[in-house]
Amino acid sequence: MSTLAYALGFALALMLSGCDSVRYVKSELSGTAKPEGGIQENIPPSRTYRAPPQAVRRAVLAVLGDQGYVYEDNPSAGTIKTEPKSLTDTSKFAFTGATYHAKLFITFDGSTVTYRAKFDKKSNLTMPELNVEFPEKENEIRKEFFVALDKRLTPSGAELPQGSSLAVPASSQGAAAASAGPTSPTSPPPATKSTVESKNPLSEPMSTLEMQKILLSLGYEVGQPDGISGRRTVDALRKFQQASKLPVTGSLDPESVVRLRAAARGRN
């Protein structure tokens, strides 16, 4: 097929695929293409909580797990970095599409959490781009993160509307109460079902290093445990999830955490 015929065929395919594809090609070639979604609202990158630093860190790790991120936790440096997570519905990724992956960089200063995101982009029309900033999309996923974190920890200085409440895990409540001073012995908090469940040690947030050690003890190939969730670690987690009849996501979700610890205890 001649070059002219190929070009005509390409143009015809674009016209048949509709105006959306034509607009996408123009935006991609002009450098104005962005990931789907995003909000104009400016969400501050940092937020301070009343809970002690360790309770804040545990809550952050739990939220990252719920949101499907694979992360590297470095407590000594006060940082968490995540593996790139796809933001694109791959079923829609077609000839003229692009995929975006979010990478999170979270830092701690006491009970203050700072959340920043950058994006890797892969396109069929332009060269791949790494560590790209998309402020509107960052605002969107940052807001989702802090909303989830607020359900576990009450931000300092924040006043809840009358009659509303935030669901704070029992472990965080106890730590916050200890920092606030002694309470009256005549009015202990009621032992609710959620309080009992939150004390289950199997459901505590799991670091990447702990996950690697457990997978290795169970016979899965992860290499030398180093706290970095690379390809072998993700593949091993996928195999464990498949063998445990869990959703095969490669992400350290809460159910996988419980099953991993239960499996490790079963070997002891």
Q: What are phi and psi of 73, to 5 degrees?
A: -100, 125
The rounded distance, in Å, linking the Cα atoms of 63 and 31 is 33
pLDDT at 198 over 50: no
% of the chain surpassing 90 pLDDT: 25
pLDDT single digits (tens) 176-189? 444 444 444 444 45
pLDDT band at 64 (very low <50, low <70, confident <90, very high): very high
The answer to whether the CB of 84 falls within 8 A of the CB of 12 is: no
Structural domains in the chain, CATH included, are 1-33 (no CATH), 38-150 (3.30.530.50), 206-268 (1.10.101.10)
Which of the given ranges, 5-9, 18-22, 38-42, has the highest pLDDT on average? 38-42
Average pLDDT over residues 9-38: 64
Q: What is the pLDDT of residue 249?
A: 84
pLDDT band of 31, cuts 50, 70, 90: low
How far is Cα 265 from Cα 237, in angstroms, rounded to an integer? 17
pLDDT value for 204: 81
Nearest-5° angle of CA 153, CA 157, CA 163? 70
Average pLDDT across the chain, whole number: 76
H/E segment holding residue 74: strand 71-74
Strand partners, 71: 82
> Which residue shows structure tokens 């994006």?
119
Check: CB of residue 225 under 8 Å from CB of residue 212.
yes
Q: What is the pLDDT of residues 201-223, one digit of tens each?
A: 677 888 888 999 999 999 999 88
Q: Which of 5-9, 29-33, 121-125, 211-215 has the highest mean pLDDT?
A: 211-215
